Structure 1
Amino acid sequence: MTVKLTFHGAAGCVTGFCARLEVDGAAVLIDCGMFQGSKTLKALNYNDFPFDVGKIDAVLLTHAHIDHSGLLPKLMKAGFTGPIYATAATRDLCGIMLADAGGIQETEVRHLNRRNQRRGRPTVEPIYTERDAAKVMEQFKKVKLGVAAAILPGLTATYWEAGHILGAASIEVQLETAEGPVRLLFSGDIGSGGRDYSPDPDGPSGVDHVIVESTYGDRERLDLDGQARRAVLTQELLDAHAAGGPVLIPAFAVERSQELLADILTIMDEGQIPKADIFLDSPLAIEATEIFQRRGWNRTTESNPFQDLHSGGRLRFLRKPKESDSLEKLRGWHLIMAASGMCDAGRVRRHLKRLLWRKDATVLLSGFQAMGTLGRILQDGASRVSIEGEQIQVRARIRALDVYSAHADASGLTNWVKARGPVAGQVFILHGEPSAREGLRTRLVAAGIEPERIALPGMDEGYVLSGSKVQAAGETVHRIAARAVAAPDWHNARAGLLIELDQALQAAQDDTAREQLLAAFRQTLTAARTTAQAPAP
């Protein structure tokens, strides 16, 4: 019996996780996530799947984040009719998150097609619609933590608490083979542990192979309790208040928004920061908040910290676009949370366009910003950015708050892997940018795992598993060059070049100097075009 494991996403980047496990003619996917980041990477969302969808028997879903669940409706549209196994909370969150993703695609494609028609370019279709998202929910089947579920003959799955977001799980897969059982553990996204809003991560020991995320595999974060975390947040908000203007928090709609709201309202009620209206400008985050108020019970603290978010009367839900637009009239001290968390889509881009140029405004980034996203460009210190084709000068205070991450840091990941030992076979490091994966590998080697038993798979690379033994599955057809997986692409470079050209023209002494600059630019461009079109020797 041949067991084959292939990685179709989050291999060298932090989004689009999808692993395909094949055994004895059957196949399951672990997650089916959407790519985020550069336009080159996101283009993979529109392409055909790199496998025969008709041969997929089931999906095992670790959690609801779009980079793990976001292509499930597309999978259904391509012909997948099997079950999708998930915890009850993950199912509830997917019900709103996938619908939101479908709605955003419909809206953005509608706007894009208007621009394409004006430019004489072909129109495009959304990856899937809100209706598709609703339909795929019919395929979800609920699993309970710690209870083995029979998925296929000879294949069982046990879900373990991951401590990441509500409903998130690591998935242990056990395969019955002629040589004996083979146990694999897919980490999903691992939480940091010790948090008052989420349970600590858990999992089995003595597995054969571990597939582990590495988002923060190369860095340590402050190990803060709730009081210390709120102290950091308090100082950030006091500094923002001193600047005189509003605070814009790009919102990760699930978990991060709810945790920040709970802490902001707590320190506001305690008088540590001036009172202000808080606008939650994300229909998805609003619906997620309502789910957290129902399902947010923390077994560790025996409480639901999200029950009383409305008690102070400061929190305002903005469900309609016209309510969002009305914030343009506001001045002075107030707080806005708007999706998306990496500034890649949604209402936050409208707020950025009207606030980035203001010195009194503060943009508070509250989570990981993937390479190529607008959030990452702002975090890296850009003085000017392009939003929907419009160049915006960045004068606002750009701040990054790293104490709310729902991901374990390097030590947390290392300790989690060690607790799963002894690992008889291979440790596959996924879901991280190159430096993060290398950083985690270095730490695991220092923790006693032999270097040859640690693999950093590339996109679409496969492995044949035989008990504790692993070998490469053969030649791989890569959908995307390795250098483009976790790096700014030519779209980012083009936007940067246009901004630089505009700045140079603005700084030129007079119109004659500007004409000379443009002439030199055209000459260089003509020479570069000739070189690019020349046949290879």
Structure 2
Amino acid sequence: MKITFLGAAKEVTGSCYLVETENARFLVDCGMFQGGEVEDELNYQEFIFDIKDIDFVLLTHAHIDHSGRIPVLYKRGYRKRIYATHATVDLCRYMLPDSGHIQEMESEWKNRKRKRAGKPLRDPLYTAEEAEESISIFYGVDYGEVIEPAPHIKVRFNDAGHILGSSIIEVWVNEKGKETKIVFSGDLGNKKVPLLRDVTPINEADYVLCESTYGNRIHEEVSDRAKRLMEIITRTIKRGGNVIIPSFAVGRTQEILYELHRERDLYKDEIEFLNNIPVYVDSPLATSITDVFAKHPECLDDEAREYIKKGELPLDFPNLHFTHSAEESKALNEIKTPMIIISASGMCEAGRIKHHLKHNLWRPECTVLFVGYQAKGTLGRKLLDGEKDVKILGEDIHVKAEIEYIESFSGHADQRGILEWISNFEKKPKKIFIVHGEDEAQEELADKIEAQFGIETLIPSRYDVYDFDKEELIKGEVEDKEKFKLELNNKLEEMKLRSEKAFNKLQEILDKKDGKDLTGIMLEIDNINESLMKLYRELLD
């Protein structure tokens, strides 16, 4: 048996793992790369496997960095089953077509630029219609249900507590009379977060793929986040500004609405003040997703279900409004009185949030409040890192608004939560693969796991292959020449794109003559040139 790491390997997007057994080949997740132009290009690359050889797909949850390339699979001919929880299937009915719609809009905008530059035009990665068609091959399963998607393979989905329907997936593979159990953590949720149930403990595994998004961070206490939310909103509204919350349409938006609903008794003064302040959810997708939450009470915690039993809607309150059309969205930026706008996308890379940032980032009385993880290269990450000049929709914006971040709203477990989840394994795994994280987070988490539990950890790169028989992590799959050529070609394309971006950024720094110490950059360039010369000489030989 082998597993190839095709995404979320030393990165937090593009989750995709190819498992090859003696009886079947299957994928766990098929996510979209997110972050910038380079990541966009990665989504167009050829898969390094033959689609007709894939027997089934297991989907941990509906977030686009885990599900977003499933329509690409479908578009290229895949017609077998995609297994996911019922709630995940219902979320994907809305999220994937919405992603397709974004692909169409982005493609149209980029094609205008390509046309002016004399470059060839390109079709969208997939359309809303193609994404909608891909839902036909989804197959819903219950939490705790054991299925057999192929001979000698058993699978069980467990609640990951990350978003509605999110899963930790247990996979049992029987080869040559020997059973091996692999656990895919998916994205692990925070503990004691209102609305959703806690993460399911797993008590045994031979191998674990463990996410590490916040592997080097400890969140503030969940109990403190409502207080901070109220403080930030009240402070901003009193100075006449708007609160702009870039939020993922699934999960964070509903948690914020739930927090505003349930804290009415605890924060009476703030709520009384805010009762006259309109709260707008400016995302048709988030509106639809909020309806899906009502359809799946089995995924909610006891407190949320009690609200429903009493006839209350836990995601609703009198001053809450949902926009539906683009005209309604644009009209919000004409309102002169303070308001709260919750809008997608959560990393500020697409959608209506860009327009709201364009109209509010330059205003010192406003606040942009982040409530979720911001990947490297995204506009959201740039704002969190303190960049004061950003480009939005082709316009230069000087940042004067207050930038805030309530980390405990994140849907990901922090380092303490991940370690606590691992501590539940009564039968210690032989190895834990650290995935879905940036370098610093992965390395610190790996050190903690080895020190605390004595379990060997591995941090694979994209295209690395783990051979379970040899118990060895291989850099690329050399045995399959065609597959290897595809890997190499993909890596060369990525290197070219990243080099071009780095060159342009360096040129921008030099042109500004802003007095930066460039000694470190000069040494790095010398090292790169030396490596390239060495490679060049080897190729000539």
> 1 CA distance for matches of 2:170 and 2:73?
23
The code of the aligned residue for 2:234 comes to L
CA 1:489–1:97: 2 relative to 1, 3 Å: farther
Aligned residues of 1:349 and 1:387 also touching (Cα < 8 A): yes
CA 1:21–1:386: 2 relative to 1, 3 Å: same
CA 1:310–1:215: 2 relative to 1, 3 Å: closer
Q: Deviations over 1:122-160 (max 9, x none)?
A: 211111111111111110111111121011000110111
The code of the aligned residue for 1:290 comes to D
Give the equivalent residue in structure 2 for 1:395. 400
CA 1:481–1:9: 2 relative to 1, 3 Å: same
> 2 CA distance for matches of 1:268 and 1:244?
22
Aligned residues of 2:261 and 2:315 also touching (Cα < 8 A): no
The code of the aligned residue for 2:431 comes to Q
The code of the aligned residue for 2:140 comes to K
Aligned residues of 2:170 and 2:184 also touching (Cα < 8 A): yes
CA 1:356–1:187: 2 relative to 1, 3 Å: same
Aligned residues of 1:116 and 1:123 also touching (Cα < 8 A): yes
Give the equivalent residue in structure 2 for 1:259. 255
TM-score for the superposition, normalised by structure 1? 0.88
> 2 CA distance for matches of 1:377 and 1:488?
18
> 1 CA distance for matches of 2:2 and 2:411?
31
Give the equivalent residue in structure 1 for 2:441. 436
The code of the aligned residue for 1:281 comes to D
> 1 CA distance for matches of 2:129 and 2:502?
32
Q: Deviations over 1:320-342 (max 9, x none)?
A: 11111111211231011111000
Give the equivalent residue in structure 1 for 2:191. 193
Q: Deviations over 1:292-313 (max 9, x none)?
A: 1222455642533685257533
Give the equivalent residue in structure 1 for 2:365. 360
Q: Give the 5 Å matches for 1:57-206.
A: 57-206=55-204
Question: Out of 227, 231, 236, which is 1:231 matched to?
Answer: 227
> 1 CA distance for matches of 2:128 and 2:361?
31
Shift of 1:240: 1.6
Give the equivalent residue in structure 2 for 1:524. none
Q: Give the 5 Å matches for 1:313-324.
A: 313-324=318-329
Q: Deviations over 1:453-485 (max 9, x none)?
A: 21100001111113xx62124645456669x89
Give the equivalent residue in structure 1 for 2:25. 27
> 2 CA distance for matches of 1:499 and 1:327?
37
Q: Does 1:380 align with 2:385?
A: yes
The secondary structure found in structure 2 opposite 1:184 is strand
> 2 CA distance for matches of 1:418 and 1:106?
45
Greater alpha carbon shift after TM alignment, 298-307 vs 93-102: 298-307
> 2 CA distance for matches of 1:67 and 1:311?
28
Q: Deviations over 1:369-388 (max 9, x none)?
A: 00000000000000101123
CA 1:402–1:475: 2 relative to 1, 3 Å: closer
The secondary structure found in structure 2 opposite 1:106 is helix
Aligned residues of 1:196 and 1:301 also touching (Cα < 8 A): no
> 1 CA distance for matches of 2:367 and 2:502?
24
Question: Out of 204, 216, 231, which is 1:218 matched to?
Answer: 216
> 1 CA distance for matches of 2:490 and 2:386?
28
Shift of 1:502: 6.8
What is the percent sequence identity of the aligned residues? 36
Q: Deviations over 1:416-465 (max 9, x none)?
A: 12212423421101000001101110110121224xx2110000111111
Flag structure 2 segments of 5+ consecutive residues without an equivalent.
Answer: 478-486, 516-525
Give the equivalent residue in structure 2 for 1:461. 464
Give the equivalent residue in structure 1 for 2:519. none
CA 1:478–1:10: 2 relative to 1, 3 Å: farther
CA 1:336–1:287: 2 relative to 1, 3 Å: same
Q: Give the 5 Å matches for 1:405-420.
A: 405-420=410-425
Greater alpha carbon shift after TM alignment, 310-319 vs 200-209: 310-319
> 2 CA distance for matches of 1:244 and 1:494?
39
> 1 CA distance for matches of 2:475 and 2:375?
30
Aligned residues of 1:38 and 1:488 also touching (Cα < 8 A): no
Aligned residues of 1:372 and 1:489 also touching (Cα < 8 A): no
> 2 CA distance for matches of 1:271 and 1:493?
54
Give the equivalent residue in structure 1 for 2:2. 4
Q: Give the 5 Å matches for 1:439-454.
A: 439-450=444-455, 453-454=456-457
The secondary structure found in structure 1 opposite 2:35 is coil
CA 1:309–1:302: 2 relative to 1, 3 Å: closer
Q: Deviations over 1:263-314 (max 9, x none)?
A: 2244468331432101111111111011112224556425336852575331
The code of the aligned residue for 1:183 comes to K
CA 1:155–1:250: 2 relative to 1, 3 Å: same
CA 1:491–1:385: 2 relative to 1, 3 Å: farther
CA 1:325–1:396: 2 relative to 1, 3 Å: same
CA 1:377–1:480: 2 relative to 1, 3 Å: farther
> 1 CA distance for matches of 2:287 and 2:471?
45
> 2 CA distance for matches of 1:378 and 1:449?
39
> 2 CA distance for matches of 1:500 and 1:252?
37
TM-score for the superposition, normalised by structure 2? 0.87
CA 1:220–1:318: 2 relative to 1, 3 Å: same
> 1 CA distance for matches of 2:445 and 2:488?
24
Shift of 1:198: 1.3
The secondary structure found in structure 2 opposite 1:141 is strand
> 2 CA distance for matches of 1:221 and 1:322?
38
Count of aligned positions: 502
> 2 CA distance for matches of 1:503 and 1:336?
38
The secondary structure found in structure 1 opposite 2:256 is helix
The code of the aligned residue for 1:367 comes to G
Considering only aligned residues, what root-mean-square deviation do their CA atoms show, in Å? 2.7
> 2 CA distance for matches of 1:72 and 1:238?
42
